[in-house]
Structure 1
Amino acid sequence: MADDLTVSWSDAIARAEAHAPFLRRMMEMRPDLVSDIRAGKLDAAMQRALALQPSTIDEAGMANLVIARQLRLARGDMMLALALGDLAGALSFQQVARALSDFADVCLQSALESIFARRYDCAPTGFAVIALGKLGGHELNYSSDIDPIFLFDPETMPSRRKETPHDAAQRVGRELIALLSERDGDGHVFRVDMRLRPESEVSPMVLPIRSAISHYESRALTWERAAFIRSRQAAGCETLGQYFLQEIQPFVWRRSLDFGTIDAIGELTRRIRAHHKGEQLPAPGFNLKTGRGGIREIEFFAQSQQLVHGGRNPELRSGNTLEALAALATEQIIAGDQAEALSQSYVKLRTIEHRLQMVEDRQTHSLPEDMPALNNVAQLHGLADSEVLIQQLRSVCSMASTHYDDLLVRQGVATGADPDEDEGVSLFSDEEPVLIAELSDMGFADPKSIAGRLADWRSGKVKALRTPQSRAAFENQIGALFAAIREEQGDVDAINRLDSMLQQLPSVLDLFHLLAARPALIGILARLLCHAPALSKALAMRASLIDGIVDASIFDRQDDLAAIIAELEQRDGCDDLGLMLERVATDIAERRFAIGVQLIEGRTDPLDAALDYSRIAEATIAVVTDRVTQEFVQQHGQVPGGELVILAMGRLGGEALTHASDLDLVYLFTGAHDARSDGPKPLSGTQYFNRLAQRVSAGLSLPTATGPLYEVDTRLRPSGMQGLLAASMESFWDYQRKKAWTWEHMALCRARPVYGSQQARNGLSHGIAGLLGSGRVAEAIAKDALAMRGDMAKAKPPKGPWDAKLAGGALVDLEFCIHTQQLIHGQGLSPHLGQALAMLVDHKLLSPDLIEAHNFLTRLLVMSRLVTPQDNSPAEASRPLVAQACGMTQWDEVTEHYQYYTDIVRAARIAILGAIPTLDHG
């Protein structure tokens, strides 16, 4: 028995090392944990991880371990233990999924306790976390998001002075998400997906409990009922959570038999199948979750029967899919052999899903299209090759699909992916006077002009609308789209943007069929047309971007730098540099568009969006520079001992880009400036790296249909525009030590190396820290900073009353406060403003109130740059979106907070630097 166990562990560890880079890295960092597991101490290892006692930290180190690192390290232990136990056959799928879910609960609770203890010096009260999705069903994926709903009770939620319970709850919610999802060298804990909360497009992150109950009692949808089958109280105030779940029981479990639920789920199935038109059976690229006969169809099978019968039979209400299938069989709702077959299929699909995710700890559900990668997954599972794996999956999915289709057919639900379309019926009159009256009744300010536009579309002037099928699809949806535009207070500008988009489309069939199949997309498209000029322009130039909204992945974070780089490098499958750059530009446009959609839809915190914009830019720099350098080396060879190093400054340096941000870059190079390259056309070091830098800038500034890929600004280099584009490290340091002005050292406070070898980056970062950390004469620095801020106020006055960057008391003032204190005291030396500010607060060099001011003003800036890029004064119709992005419900709250926080920042700047007449009058 012991020998068999030893062989099992040895084989599992060998497969993990050979086929799962993530697990291999985890094992290399945790040799003692691997030894324990190999010795049969798996359960003890799991219990230590569940107790948040990382294997890499001794007892003495635990006392000084911050909660974020403690959770991340414990997560690494748990993931490694579960993976090896799974691969060795020591743990069943159910045990793995339950352990992951239990660990997520512990992390949620521990994180909440830490936040409440620090903010309010009490245990979590008045705040509850409701788990939905796979976490709610105790069947979490190996690399899954968690899907919670956050609730608070205004009567029991603690708050600070000048903080309402609502504000307190939102701050706790945002901090909880950040603590769990932010990634560093130890990885992350869990990605948090808040899209299952009620009306997530407009609702605050944390919901008042009465508002949430009211939603589910009055206007919730079928899919929300299905979501709450897998709901439970996971963390926070148990009394509050259980009260909420008890109150919404009548919404989830209706006493009357509700076969309309199956119709709704059948329609959802048809749409899913319609938008996944690849292989009908498993093959390379097959999606185990959404493919035919996949995980989702088995879950829908169980959930539909639970919703139909669970109101009368409480035995059917388990949130766990396997338990639900067993209960349905026990209660004779489905046949026992059917339940057993579906359960076996579910376990097989989920197990292979776990194998996919073990490779690199990525939340993926699709089989690799690349055959070596698919073979790797099969061998990780212990199979000979991908052919065996595909055959097993085909058998599983074929059987599951048959059972699922039989269920829908019995209820009279169509299951095909391409049903015949109904003939279009015009929702608007063809007679001009009547049409103008209809448009006027809808609230359009210039109905005559818009009627003329509609007449042009109907006349065939737009190529995409010339066929009867196109016109029918168009007429079926245009009324709903116009109504959605008016609901967003859009008018002629939005219609003109729609016209620009239609003019570019080769056909409107896909677009309007898509809107018919996914009515929610009508609202999204209307919001983009009404509130996001940059995104509307992108759609007009590349209407195919709308296709991405169908895929829920458009709402995924873009914060994994390594993953973005890897995905961009996949675009580099051609010899032609220009073609490669065009492909990268297309990919980047899609990613930046996705973040813009997330902001407009309220699916992401603008602070997260700023980070994601930055990660995308940094990945672009890495991939473009690598490829440009490869081609450059073919012509000119390499400079011995030399390499290009890129230093990001400004908002990119601080990882806080907006949709409209430039890239502030400084090009540096190592090695001797007069060394010669060794290629066919040799150059001196200075010539070599300056020409290379020019080409990199050109690649990053590649013209696209919607403008340059990025605007590159290199004016922060030594000596500015008069200096060489690329400076040697030696000359850079000589300049910084002997010639640089105070403002240049202030700019250096947000400098961050983003390209070059790790050794070169580390050396550059160390040198910057040493230069800035030496401390300076307070009076001189404050005097220089005041003069610079005054000059900036004259040269760049605020663009409007809501200029969150340039107005008095806005972000530039806060930056001056932070950088001045950094230079004077040599403390808080992080390029990230938020981190630097927190460090300076810890050293009692700045007020804690400035942290909330920074977060509020940054959110306002990021959103303003998207909805009103010209003057930073949100239009009346766009103000609710901006308020939502700032964590508020009303524009009046935004104005109050803006005044409050700018007063705080202005007071701090006056105290540190002094007053500036143009900013501080009155």
Structure 2
Amino acid sequence: MTLPPSTRRSALDRLTADAPFLARLAELFPEDVARFLADGTDTALAAVTAPAVDEEVMRTLRRWRGRTALLLALGDLSGEHDVAATTRRLSEFADTACDLALAAAFAERVPDAAPQGLAVIALGKLGSFELNYSSDIDPILIFDPATLPRRERDDPDEAAVRIARRFVEILSARTADGHVLRVDLRLRPHPEVTPIVLPVNAAISYYESEALAWEQAAFIRSRASAGDRALGTRFLEAIQPFIWRRSLDFRQLKEIGAMSDRIRDHFAQGQDFGPGYDLKRGRGGIREIEFFAQVHQLIYGGRDPALRAPATVDALAALAGAGRVAPDVAARLSDHYATLRRIEHRLQMIDDQQTHSLPVQPDALDAVARLDGEADGAALLDTLRPVVGDVGACYDRLVADRAVATGLPRDESELAAALAAAGFEPPDPALRTIAEWRSGKLRALRSPAALEALETMLPELMKAIGAAPDPAATLIRFDKLVAGLPSAVNFFHLLAAQPALARVATRILSLAPTLADALAARVELIDGLIDARAFDAPADKAELIAEWTPGLAGLDYERLLDRVRDRVGERRFAYGAQLVAGAADPLIVARGYSDLAEAALQLLADATVAEFVEAHGRVPDSELVILALGRFGGQALTHASDLDLIYLFTGDHLAESDGPRPLGATTYYNRLAQRVTAAMSVPTAAGKLYDVDVRLRPQGAQGPLVVTVDSFERYQREEAWTWEHMALLRARPVYGSDAARGEVARVIADVLARPRGGSVATEAAAMRARIAAHKPPAGPLDVKTGAGGLVDLEFAMQVVQLQSGRCHDPHIPTALACLAAAGLAPDAIVAAHRLLARLLVMLRLTAPDGEPQAAAARQLVAAACGCDNWPALLEAHDAARQEVAGWWAAIRPADEQQETK
């Protein structure tokens, strides 16, 4: 920014008149002042270079600090630098000063060694590049005993402490030239008993197992700022699960929010706005803006890395962009933050003191105002008053959002009345259940913390269960869920903090036994529903991979298997919750289930291939290709579908891999495919992923698990049965390079395009009869295997596709629409399929063993299928099946129909 000379002169005049500390610096460094007046702040700063590390380092560092402080103040006062630029430059200065001080400390202790093995982890405002004009820095110092240089007989711990003490002294000791930085090391674990520098493994262990809520919040703004940055980065990467937790601990969030309340109470004298007001800790001050952003980051940042911005203004922008904070609120708070920080800097410029309170004396307040370009203290207060009021109001709303509800009565008659009012009629079973919970007999409720959390969430929980379609049955299922938990503290705090989740949870328990079982096995699945985007349209494969990949980087193979299972389980549960909430079309969710499985397959197959290559190398000019068939191939999975896969490989089956333990190509790919199957299907600590069925491969269970693409093509042309070609109509390459998948798709298209004789319908009908004899319908609503169901529909469609050589699309709705448009299928069959497919998805979720019994579940299914009520759905279902049965009957040979009769 180019400023007129008068603006620079005004900044210097105000500095000289009202900031004694800066006025002294202007007298000490007149050449810097002259350069500022002539050429501006950036040019003047460019001439102020960092000093060398030598015996004069104490003096040269302090003079360098003085020159930098003077010029940054002039840039700030003149408006050449805004608050963000000023705090960034101050933070960069602090980083370099720490590096120089650490290098000097090492040079004194071990002169010939490079400074390594000791890292400075910046927290607070230095960690987020928002350092105050006259601020402490709050680092944590860690060291690696294996790489720290030391004297021959030095103990590593003692050597690290000596170097750290000298580092602090070089920065903070006050000499005739002042100081460089005040260093506060009290944010380290147990500062009253631990040394000032910690072994890195001990620090990691502490943050993984013992750290407190405020420490989690502190590490939102953390980075390796000086010293051995590689060591510091490794440390921070190791504790990322502590900082950014996917499973939310609302007890910790409550404690973090309460910190601000305690600060308000402790600094009561600085709460009332006016002279003496504390810009940092007062109601509506800087701390409240920071906490506002951090609480939202802690809630959502574990699942959305984009929200992990350390700087407050950046965090507010990210939260607004993600829809977590209203954009106008984020914009106002960002502007207010800049205003409050600017005035805070004016306070600190006067005497280089770390103060945050407006002066009480009128003359002193007028001086601060003049330094900021205001006429007097009254004008400054007029500027700040609406800022502080708006910040306080925003933060008060956040506090109100986390307010704790009053508990349910303990008196039995009063509790019975409250339960009856909530919908429990009679209330006696609920009375007995609550009494059992309050007794602490259940494993999850034995601790005082768990019982306290129980009382916190009971009012909203019982209100939600009482509003469920069948309160008594829902309460029984919830009780069973609680009985299976090792601890209920966080789950209860979550339900108390997010009442909407209690309503979703009770709806799941009352309407969707499949989801209820999943929730009982992994109660943390409910966390994912906090995210409003859990009810967005399902993400496609590319979006899922892009979202998950950053969180998977650097994981070993076993942890990657667990992490992918976690991610898939969360998404699958969320998609089911969408259906239970009536918020999504079952056909769209079925596509989402398929994209989810495909993303998991891509990531796990990639990881399995990479691990296999390390041991056995690669087979030259060859790769693994995976075909999806059935519902997976047709992108129409239900909540509990298995995956039908065929494994192929390109290239020469006589080739050999080029790794340290080479294998022939056939052995190589058979072992690799076994590992991919295991990666997708074997239960781990994180649970089960998918069942994988590979029986559709050439020659079925009698054939090899993997064959070459050439062998697959030869088999399909020369040996395959008609039913195998019918299955091939829903085949879709889902893994491999674009070229390899394209080659396999070409093979499938060529095979399916071959002319067919008249035997297709006969063979299909015979096979359908065998299926019916082997697996009769489970009931009148078995929409898959019953007469006129989805199996009949697919048989009819596939016979027509093979006979006509047309509409070979694995996606059934697309194929049916193509056939209908060509006059090869009844027009009504498209709508019949849509209804039956929606019904299948919903029944797999709400009534996996038959038809839903509860009236509310029936209504949910009916609505998802586009019907007003259950009788209307049954009527539409019967009509759809008659349509399908009629089409299949028209295609089957007459003798087959007669035999069936």
State the TM-score, normalized to the length of structure 2: 0.57
Mapped to 1, the partners of 2:894 and 2:425 lie a distance apart of 46
- Inter-CA distance 679–885: structure 2 relative to 1 (3 Å threshold): same
- 1:414 is matched with which residue? 396
**Offset of residue 870 of structure 1:** 2.1
**Offset of residue 676 of structure 1:** 1.4
- Structure 1 residue 889 and structure 2 residue 889: aligned? no
2:761 to 778, 782, 799: 782
Aligned-partner SS, 2:648? strand
- Structure 1 residue 559 and structure 2 residue 512: aligned? no
- 1:906 is matched with which residue? 885
**Offset of residue 791 of structure 1:** 1.2
> What one-letter code is carried by the residue in structure 2 that aligns with 1:850?
I
Instruction: Map residues 543-622 of structure 1 onto 2, 5 A cutoff.
Output: 543-574=523-554, 576-622=556-602
For each residue in 1:181-205, what CA deviation from the matched residue of structure 2 results, as whole angstroms up to 9, or x when unmatched? xxxxxxxxxxxxxxxxxxxxxxxxx
**Offset of residue 625 of structure 1:** 0.7
Instruction: Map residues 204-215 of structure 1 onto 2, 5 A cutoff.
Output: none
- Structure 1 residue 700 and structure 2 residue 689: aligned? no
- Structure 1 residue 502 and structure 2 residue 486: aligned? no
> What one-letter code is carried by the residue in structure 2 that aligns with 1:406?
G
Mapped to 2, the partners of 1:339 and 1:564 lie a distance apart of 33
Contact 1:280–1:291 (Cα < 8 Å) also in 2: no
> What one-letter code is carried by the residue in structure 1 that aligns with 2:725?
H
Contact 2:639–2:844 (Cα < 8 Å) also in 1: yes
- 2:105 is matched with which residue? none
- Inter-CA distance 569–422: structure 2 relative to 1 (3 Å threshold): closer
Aligned-partner SS, 1:642? coil
For each residue in 1:358-407, what CA deviation from the matched residue of structure 2 results, as whole angstroms up to 9, or x when unmatched? xxxxxxxxxxxxxxxxxxxxxxxxxxxxxxxxxxxxxxxxxx99968734
- Inter-CA distance 658–408: structure 2 relative to 1 (3 Å threshold): same
**Offset of residue 500 of structure 1:** 4.2
- Inter-CA distance 837–407: structure 2 relative to 1 (3 Å threshold): same
Instruction: Map residues 338-349 of structure 1 onto 2, 5 A cutoff.
Output: none
Mapped to 2, the partners of 1:413 and 1:578 lie a distance apart of 43
**Offset of residue 419 of structure 1:** 7.5
Instruction: Map residues 90-489 of structure 1 onto 2, 5 A cutoff.
Output: 275=299, 282=311, 286=315, 288=317, 290=319, 296-299=325-328, 406-407=389-390, 414-417=396-399, 421-422=403-404, 424-427=406-409, 430=412, 451-468=431-448, 470-489=450-469
> What one-letter code is carried by the residue in structure 1 that aligns with 2:799?
T
Mapped to 2, the partners of 1:402 and 1:837 lie a distance apart of 67
Contact 1:297–1:401 (Cα < 8 Å) also in 2: no
**Offset of residue 802 of structure 1:** 1.3
- 1:197 is matched with which residue? none
Mapped to 1, the partners of 2:618 and 2:334 lie a distance apart of 64
2:790 to 779, 787, 811: 811
2:500 to 511, 514, 520: 520
Aligned-partner SS, 2:576? helix
Mapped to 1, the partners of 2:309 and 2:397 lie a distance apart of 13
**Offset of residue 738 of structure 1:** 1.4
Aligned-partner SS, 1:640? coil
For each residue in 1:721-740, what CA deviation from the matched residue of structure 2 results, as whole angstroms up to 9, or x when unmatched? 11111112222122111111
**Offset of residue 340 of structure 1:** 13
> What one-letter code is carried by the residue in structure 1 that aligns with 2:435?
A
**Offset of residue 915 of structure 1:** 7.8
**Offset of residue 876 of structure 1:** 3.4
Which range is displaced more, 873-882 or 660-669?
Answer: 873-882
Aligned-partner SS, 1:570? helix
Instruction: Map residues 701-850 of structure 1 onto 2, 5 A cutoff.
Output: 701-704=681-684, 707-777=687-757, 779-850=758-829
Contact 1:292–1:401 (Cα < 8 Å) also in 2: no
- Inter-CA distance 298–695: structure 2 relative to 1 (3 Å threshold): closer
Contact 2:300–2:531 (Cα < 8 Å) also in 1: no
**Offset of residue 499 of structure 1:** 3.0
Mapped to 2, the partners of 1:919 and 1:551 lie a distance apart of 57
- Inter-CA distance 702–413: structure 2 relative to 1 (3 Å threshold): same
Contact 2:789–2:884 (Cα < 8 Å) also in 1: yes
Mapped to 2, the partners of 1:883 and 1:720 lie a distance apart of 39
Contact 1:622–1:755 (Cα < 8 Å) also in 2: yes
- Inter-CA distance 780–403: structure 2 relative to 1 (3 Å threshold): farther
**Offset of residue 872 of structure 1:** 4.7
- Inter-CA distance 455–665: structure 2 relative to 1 (3 Å threshold): same
- 1:156 is matched with which residue? none
**Offset of residue 508 of structure 1:** 4.0
- Structure 1 residue 690 and structure 2 residue 719: aligned? no
> What one-letter code is carried by the residue in structure 2 that aligns with 1:822?
Q
- Inter-CA distance 790–463: structure 2 relative to 1 (3 Å threshold): same
Structure 2 gaps of 5+ residues are 1-291, 302-306, 340-382
For each residue in 1:784-825, what CA deviation from the matched residue of structure 2 results, as whole angstroms up to 9, or x when unmatched? 111111111121222221122112112111111111111001
- Inter-CA distance 415–339: structure 2 relative to 1 (3 Å threshold): closer
> What one-letter code is carried by the residue in structure 2 that aligns with 1:851?
V
Mapped to 2, the partners of 1:544 and 1:557 lie a distance apart of 22
Mapped to 1, the partners of 2:842 and 2:390 lie a distance apart of 46
Aligned-partner SS, 1:645? strand
Contact 1:750–1:832 (Cα < 8 Å) also in 2: yes
> What one-letter code is carried by the residue in structure 1 that aligns with 2:741?
R
Structure 1 gaps of 5+ residues are 1-267, 303-337, 346-399
For each residue in 1:435-483, what CA deviation from the matched residue of structure 2 results, as whole angstroms up to 9, or x when unmatched? 7898789776997665544333111123443455543442354354344
- 1:859 is matched with which residue? 838
- 1:670 is matched with which residue? 650
Mapped to 2, the partners of 1:402 and 1:903 lie a distance apart of 74
Aligned-partner SS, 1:710? coil
Mapped to 2, the partners of 1:468 and 1:627 lie a distance apart of 44
Aligned-partner SS, 2:397? coil
Aligned-partner SS, 2:552? coil
**Offset of residue 496 of structure 1:** 4.2
Name the larger-Rg structure.
Answer: 2
- Inter-CA distance 339–274: structure 2 relative to 1 (3 Å threshold): closer
Mapped to 2, the partners of 1:684 and 1:913 lie a distance apart of 47
**Offset of residue 771 of structure 1:** 0.9
> What one-letter code is carried by the residue in structure 2 that aligns with 1:425?
G
Contact 1:814–1:909 (Cα < 8 Å) also in 2: yes
Aligned-partner SS, 2:677? helix
- Inter-CA distance 297–621: structure 2 relative to 1 (3 Å threshold): closer
Aligned-partner SS, 1:664? strand
Which range is displaced more, 751-760 or 514-523?
Answer: 514-523
**Offset of residue 492 of structure 1:** 5.6
Contact 1:293–1:404 (Cα < 8 Å) also in 2: no
- 1:535 is matched with which residue? 515
Contact 2:402–2:497 (Cα < 8 Å) also in 1: no
- 1:879 is matched with which residue? 858
- Inter-CA distance 610–292: structure 2 relative to 1 (3 Å threshold): closer
> What one-letter code is carried by the residue in structure 2 that aligns with 1:671?
G
**Offset of residue 827 of structure 1:** 0.2
Q: CA RMSD in A?
A: 3.9
- 1:636 is matched with which residue? 616
- Inter-CA distance 462–292: structure 2 relative to 1 (3 Å threshold): farther
- Inter-CA distance 416–914: structure 2 relative to 1 (3 Å threshold): same
Contact 2:296–2:324 (Cα < 8 Å) also in 1: no
- Inter-CA distance 425–438: structure 2 relative to 1 (3 Å threshold): closer
> What one-letter code is carried by the residue in structure 2 that aligns with 1:415?
R
**Offset of residue 708 of structure 1:** 2.1
**Offset of residue 299 of structure 1:** 3.6
Mapped to 2, the partners of 1:767 and 1:293 lie a distance apart of 44
